[in-house]
């Protein structure tokens, strides 16, 4: 188990561990997205809906809502930027935990959501949307991490691209090839279909888990997600701490 956790978020990658990590992170994104909606009636993992809502708000003259949308998008961008800084710094230092460090930060921030959510629920005005902004930052942090780790092959915080790619591959699978000179036959990537279908399923399962968890336990249900992230990052980070102590 320790070896598995070490390889899951460690520096040395393989397609197998990239896929396994993507499954975990897609589950977490689905749960955080659903939990955020249950708390504030606002999805936080995909920027398309937020940008559209901000545009509608401007058209309707609701400047405050448009500002909150712009703030949420900015937070997502900032989270992605912070993730890139942490990973690139880790690479320059040769750290085994270069991919684990953004996930540990994500665990800390999700724990903050679980800790302060109850207090923020009773506060009215501009404070509550800041929790939405926090979740957007977390999603940007996570999405950038898996994007850099996988060479932009995998995203985890939204499934629009995944659903599109599954449709494309199914279209290839259904295509009837006829012999044509100097042209390669159309072939579907069955492995890609299975991977993306699994990620879509994990996002859905995470969403159900997040919604049920929030209904049953409220904001403290976020600690479960934080615990999963910590479990995935503790081995690579511990290895670097031990290595640093020996110098």
Separation CA 229–CA 27 (nearest Å): 11
The C-alpha angle 223, 226, 227, rounded to 5 degrees, equals 85
Over the stretch 139-165, which tens digit does the pLDDT of each residue have? Answer: 999 999 988 887 767 777 778 888 999
Residue 75: both structure tokens together: 């937070």
Over the stretch 56-114, which tens digit does the pLDDT of each residue have? Answer: 889 988 888 888 888 889 999 999 999 999 999 999 988 888 999 999 999 999 998 88
Please tell me the predicted confidence (pLDDT) of residue 129: 67
Write down the domain spans for the chain.
2-238
Largest CA distance in the chain: 70
Secondary structure percentages of the chain, helix, strand, coil, to 5: 80, 0, 20
Over the stretch 13-46, which tens digit does the pLDDT of each residue have? Answer: 888 888 999 999 999 999 988 888 887 777 777 7
Residue 58: both structure tokens together: 């401007």
Q: How far from 17 is each of 105, 196, 224, CA to CA, in Å? A: 21, 15, 22
Separation CA 130–CA 74 (nearest Å): 12
Please tell me the predicted confidence (pLDDT) of residue 53: 83
Q: How far from 25 is each of 69, 119, 165, CA to CA, in Å? A: 24, 27, 19
Please tell me the predicted confidence (pLDDT) of residue 79: 95
Q: If pLDDT is split at 50, 70 and 90, which confidence band does 128 have?
A: low
Q: If pLDDT is split at 50, 70 and 90, which confidence band does 127 have?
A: low
Please tell me the predicted confidence (pLDDT) of residue 211: 92
Between 167 and 151, where is the model more confident? 167
Please tell me the predicted confidence (pLDDT) of residue 74: 92
Please tell me the predicted confidence (pLDDT) of residue 157: 77
- Alpha carbon dihedral 182, 186, 192, 198, in 10-degree steps, equals 180
Please tell me the predicted confidence (pLDDT) of residue 247: 60
- Are the C-beta atoms of residues 130 and 75 closer than 8 Å to each other? no
């Amino acid at each position: 188990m320790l070896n598995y956790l070490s390889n899951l978020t460690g520096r040395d990658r393989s397609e197998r561990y990239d896929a396994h990590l993507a499954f975990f992170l897609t589950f977490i994104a689905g749960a955080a997205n659903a939990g955020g909606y249950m708390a504030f009636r606002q999805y936080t993992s995909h920027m398309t809906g937020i940008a559209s809502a901000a545009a509608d708000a401007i058209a309707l003259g609701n400047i405050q809502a448009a500002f909150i949308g712009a703030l949420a998008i900015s937070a997502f961008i900032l989270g992605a930027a912070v993730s890139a800084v942490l990973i690139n710094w880790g690479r320059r230092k040769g750290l085994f935990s270069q991919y684990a460090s953004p996930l540990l930060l994500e665990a800390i921030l999700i724990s903050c959501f679980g800790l302060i959510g109850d207090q923020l629920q009773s506060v009215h005005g501009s404070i509550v949307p800041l929790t939405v902004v926090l979740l957007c930052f977390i999603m940007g942090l996570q999405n950038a991490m898996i994007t850099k780790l996988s060479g932009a092959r995998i995203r985890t915080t939204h499934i629009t691209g995944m659903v599109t790619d599954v449709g494309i591959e199914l279209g290839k699978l259904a295509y009837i090839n006829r012999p044509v000179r100097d042209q390669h036959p159309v072939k579907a990537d069955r492995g890609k279909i299975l991977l993306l279908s699994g990620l879509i399923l994990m996002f859905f399962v995470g969403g159900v888990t997040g919604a049920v968890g929030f209904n049953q336990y409220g904001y403290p249900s976020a600690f479960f997600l934080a615990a999963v992230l910590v479990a995935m990052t503790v081995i690579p980070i511990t290895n670097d701490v031990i290595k640093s102590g020996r110098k």
